[in-house]
Amino acid sequence: MKKRIHARKHRLVGVVVLILCFSVAALIFLKYSGNRNIAVPFHKNVNKTFVHPGTSLETKPLHAEDTSLTKSIARVRSAFNLYLDDVHFSGTAVLVSHGHVVLDKGYGYRNVRLHLPNKPSTEYYIGSITKSVTAVAFMQMRQQGLISFNTHVSQFYPDFPNGRSISMLDLLCHVSGLRGIPETSQYVTRDEQVQRIADWNLRLSYRPGSRWSYQDDNYTLVASILDKVSLKAYGETLHQFIQKNIFDKAHMTHAGFKNAMLQSSYRSFPYTGIISKPIPSFTQLFGCGDVYMSAWDLYLFDQALADGTLLSDASYHTIFQKHFNVSDYTLGWYLNRAGWGNRTYSSHGVLGGWNGSNAFSMDRQNFVVLLSNSSRTSGIFAHANYMTFDMLSK
């Protein structure tokens, strides 16, 4: 009897040990297989219920037959990672190629004093990259018949100087003839800012459509008009419209507006060197620089734009169409910008110490997002994009 009990105890111990071994092996596998060389949904026929890698992103690992792709991804990751280390990049980099995450990594500190590192979830103000978001909101309202390229400023602001001559397309492509007004830290309402722009532009600097001049005020005027349209049609502000129709649709969980980032536990702090330039009031950056997000969220925006989640195929191609001979800038993007990579769409933004770039290839297969919280690396973006797209295309 004692021998039977003893044998049963041995078997029980053996089963427990076996279960523990399997559990430990599973934990080790989950830890080290994580989000390396993962694939993200891209095409319209793929189920796109995903968020950030490492949370609940639906992914698939590279298979053994993907040896050449694995080597290519490893080569690009290694070269780009070394480059960012060499230039002392402070921020977050996201590279995605043909549905596979090549790199999603933070560099440097989001808070130097507390030694808090930048991570994939770190949030940054994106400066003028905001214009591409405003342009998508415009195109969505255009699809709904609420506004058109030929809508003129005078329809919403009858007393605006030369408002009958300035169309939405003129503003969206920076060919309106408006002069840029100084941006200050003073709080203003939407219509007070429009009046400031009007007072500064009693006469246009050139006939609309005849020249190109990059001015934030073009997009502030677009955003102010879209705000009026959204309030009338839906009873919601432009920011509420963007949140629901862009951020939520693209599953962007680390994106928002104005001062909200300053209360976020994911916020980054800007570093500009010895002399720090004060940031203008966000009320003066409406539609042109009042958005923040993580680098991964910016990639999600790009992907949702590219795969048809945000716009129809016709609207997508309209955004990336050259509308004026005087410029290769269109609706928030540069078309094949010199020195930024062949056959690419790109945008660039600066706000105080925050600066970054956002670009993807015309075939919608390669995406490069760089967001930084240090002005020391503001000069790297063109070369970084050119180098990366060149490697990804091989």
Strand partners, 104: 94
Question: Which value, to the nearest 10 degrees, does the dihedral of the CA atoms of residues 68, 69, 71, 76 take?
Answer: 140
What kind and span of H or E run contains 110?
Answer: strand 109-111
Question: Which value, to the nearest 10 degrees, does the dihedral of the CA atoms of residues 210, 211, 214, 217 take?
Answer: -40
- The answer, as to whether pTM is greater than 0.95, is no
Distance CA 385, CA 231 (A): 39
Residue 160 reports pLDDT greater than 60: yes
Alpha carbons within 13 angstroms on the beta-carbon side of residue 75 total 13
Q: Which two tokens stand for residue 192?
A: 């007070």
At 92-146, the pLDDT tens digits run 999 999 999 999 999 999 999 999 999 999 999 999 999 999 999 999 999 999 9
Distance CA 339, CA 330 (A): 18
Distance CA 87, CA 373 (A): 14
At 190-244, the pLDDT tens digits run 999 999 999 999 999 999 999 999 999 999 999 999 999 999 999 999 999 999 9
Task: Please report how the helices 295-306 and 130-143 are oriented relative to each other, as an axis angle in degrees rounded to 10.
Answer: 30
Distance CA 196, CA 194 (A): 5
**Cβ-based neighbour number of residue 243 at 10 Å:** 17
Residue at 304: amino acid letter: A
Strand partners, 34: none
